[in-house]
Amino acid sequence: MKYWSTFNEPNIFVPEGYDKGKYPPGRCSPVLGGCKGGNSSTEPYIAAHNILRSHASAVQLYRKEYQADQEGFIGIVMSCTWYEPLLNNSQDISAVQRLLDFSIGWYLDPIVFGEYPTIMQDLVGTRLPIITLDLSEKLRGSYDFIGVNYYSTCYGADASYYLNNSYRRYSWDSLAFTTGERNDILIGPEMWPPNVYGVPYGVREMIEYLDKRYSNPPIFITENGFGHARDDNLPFSQIWNDTFRLDYLQSTLYYLKKAMRGGVNVRGYFVWSLLDNFEWIYGYTSMFGLYYVDFMDKLQRYPKLSGQWYQNFLQDGRSTSK
C-alpha cells in the first residue's frame, strides 16, 4: 500500500516565493524591494491556480493508471497554523476566518468543493483566476486524505481599517494580521524559525476545524515538532536535555488523542524530524531532530531525551500521563 502527496505546503512556498520574494523564484512587486521582478498582487494567485491544475491532473492520472494496482492513496499536504482571535470581538473573529480561508481554504476548498472560498472571491476580485466548470469537476474530490503539518498557533486580528485602501498584495488581501503575543505575553514558546509558537492545543482546534468544514476527511499529521536555534557552543548535556520538545510532543499527542476520541478521522502521525537537518532557507541553524547530528564530527548521531522518550512511546503506546 502506498501513499502519495502531490504537493507539500504550497500555502508556504507560493507566498514566500511570489509575494515576499524570500524563497525561489524570489519574485515580488518592485515597490517591496529586493526582487528583480514580480507582482505580489497577482502572481501568488496564478502560481496557486497552476498548482491546483497540476494537482487535479496528477490525481486523475493516478486514479486511472496506478491506484487499482497499488491499492494506494493520494492527497495533498498543507501547512496548518491555527489562529485565535486577538480580542474577543466580532471583527477579530471574522479576521481569523479570513486568515484560515486565505491560507488553508485557498487550496482545500477547491479540492473539496470545486471553488475558491467566497471571501477570497470577494476580496481578491478579478485578480483571482477563474475555476472553470471543467477544472471544478476535476478538482472536486481530488484527494484521498489531507496531510496536516502542524507546528504553531498565533493570534489573528482585523486590519481592514488600515489595509482596505493599501497597495494590493496577497499578504494584505485577507485584511488581517497575526501576532504571537497579547499584552506582552507570548501565546506559546517561540521556535526557530521565528514567528512559530509552540501551542499544543492548537492541533486539536485545527483538525476539528478541518473535520467540520470538510466533512470528516481522512487526516494524517504529516509533520509536528519543535525547532530551536542551533548553538554549537552548548555542551551536549544541554542539547540532550530537550525537555521543551518532549513536553510539546507529549501535550500535542494528548490533544490529538482527544480529537480522535471526538470522531476526527486521523489515520497517522509523524514527528518532524528524526534528525537535525536542513530547514528551508534557515539551513542547519534550526534544530528539529529527535537525534542530534554533530556536523563537526563525521555526522555522528546521538539520541536526545525526546528521541529516547519517543522510542519508548512507540513501544508501549503511552504518550502522556495526562
Catalytic residues, by residue number, are 9, 223
Q: Judge contact between 76 and 20, C-beta under 8 A.
A: no
Count Cβ atoms below 10 Å from residue 264 Cβ, excluding itself: 20
Residue 221 class from Cβ within 10 Å (0-12 exposed, 13-18 middle, 19+ buried)?
buried
- Give me the half-sphere count of Cα atoms (radius 13 Å) on the Cβ side of residue 126: 0
Q: In this structure, are residues 66 and 58 in contact, taking their beta carbons and an 8 Å threshold? A: no
Residue 287, all three cell numbers: 534544530
Q: Are 223 and 211 in contact (CB under 8 A)?
A: no
Three-state DSSP class for residue 208:
helix
Do the Cβ atoms of 105 and 120 come closer than 8 Å?
yes
Question: Residue 158's closest CA among 183, 188, 179?
Answer: 179
In whole angstroms, what is the distance from residue 250 CA to residue 257 CA? 11
Going by the DSSP 8-state scheme, the letter that residue 318 receives in this structure is -
Rounded Cα distance, 242 and 236, in Å: 11
Q: Give the other-Cβ count within 10 Å of 133's Cβ.
A: 9
Residue 31: exposure state from Cβ atoms within 10 A (0-12, 13-18, ≥19): exposed
Task: Give 78's contacts (C-beta < 8 A, 6+ positions apart).
Answer: 9, 10, 11, 104, 107, 108, 146, 147, 148, 149
